[in-house]
Amino acid sequence: MLGLFFHAWERRLAAVTKDRIVRPFEWGLDWVSPDGHRAPPHQHLRAWADDCVRDSDAFFGAPPTNDYRFDPAPPEVRRQGEAGTVRFPSALATPHERNNTVSARWFPVATPDGDPRDRRLPAAGAASDPGGRAVVVLPQWNSDAEGHVGLCRLFARTGISALRLTLPYHDERMPPELTRADYIVSSNIARTVQVCRQAVMDARRAVAWLALQGFTRIGIVGTSLGSCLSLLTAAHEPRIRAQALNHVSPWFADVVWRGLSTRHVREGLDGHIDLDTLRDLWRPISPWTYLDRVRDTRTLLVYARYDLTFPVDLSRTLVEEFRRRNLPHEVRLLPCGHYSTGVAPFKYYDGYLLVQFLRRNL
């Protein structure tokens, strides 16, 4: 009976969004080979995916930059714990110029007098608590500008500074033709890979900014799509000590193919590609591909018992694989669904789990 209740609730919560668009299927070869190609599209993309996975350090590499700009928040915002916004160029240029500047809201731990510590300039050793704890926070797909801000404030109040990243094609990075962040997850095969790759590169530059401030105990936390991107980042960013993954799956393709939130994407895929081929082409952005690379990273795996967006059997498969490979991890099960995780009282329990794990492991 509980399952029926939560599943019905999840469908009602998912139905609130009315602007989902079924977009046409595209291989997206212009995102891979702008100068043309000779092989059939699926073969060309398979060879490209092989190359991406074979040298994933290069694929997700984010060259260092000193082009960070800090915009201080006004006093009334600072009193709520937010010091300002860090902006920097993305390491991957996309056709949409506004998407190529990354923004990240900064929630530092407060000083004893209650004011947030203001690290305005990215200079080594600038942190007022050298070696302090900080996390990069990656929200869920289609999060609005306020998504996870409450969680960031909670981190800061409990001794962990938080840098909340705006994902590609979200919020101020969204071009005017979009109302949703469709370009990061869509029926365009190569574009989905490249934009998720961009998110990982952006997260690595955010970690680099934290390191420039003097932080040495750095973690990452992500929810839903942000969870997948967080694992990919942790697998390629040696400065990350711990990762808290909120809603998990081993394969990117399976969530899109089966999930409640991506039915409109599945409609665009149907008749053009099967699940096995999709899973193969999306290997570069699937957590399963890089599990051995998080052997030295402390991991929290959180999933929801009644999740219809990240089907529960997928989450359990990933948990079991962590166990089989003896990867260091903890597991927590939420007594709710995917959307209802963001509703009281479940959001408070979820936040508690994330904060306590990172406090113990950073």
pLDDT of residue 131: 64
**pTM (global) more than 0.85:** yes
- 78 CB contacts (<8 Å, ≥6 apart)? 72, 84, 115, 116, 118
> What does the pLDDT look like over 76-133, one tens digit per residue?
899 889 999 999 999 999 999 999 999 999 999 976 544 555 444 333 334 445 469 9
Question: Which token pair is 252?
Answer: 């990117």
> What does the pLDDT look like over 177-197, one tens digit per residue?
999 999 999 999 999 999 999
CA distances, 134 to each of 162, 209, 269, 316 (Å): 6, 11, 39, 29
Residue 283: pLDDT above 50?
yes
Domains present along the chain, CATH in parentheses: 2-16+26-361 (3.40.50.1820)
Question: If we measure between CA atoms, which residue out of 330, 310, 347 comes closest to residue 224?
Answer: 310
> What does the pLDDT look like over 199-214, one tens digit per residue?
999 999 999 999 999 9
Percent of the chain with pLDDT over 90: 87
- Residues recorded for the chain: 362
> What does the pLDDT look like over 131-155, one tens digit per residue?
699 999 999 999 988 899 999 999 9
Q: What distance in Å separates the CA atoms of residue 141 and residue 278, rounded to the nearest whole number? A: 20
Backbone angles phi, psi at 91, to 5 degrees: -80, -10
Across the chain, the runs of DSSP E, i.e. the strands, are 69-72, 84-89, 101-107, 133-138, 161-165, 217-223, 240-246, 298-304, 329-334
Say whether 103 sits in a helix, a strand or coil: strand
Rounded to 10 degrees, the C-alpha dihedral 265/147/322/292 comes to: 80
Confidence of residue 36 (pLDDT cuts 50, 70, 90): low
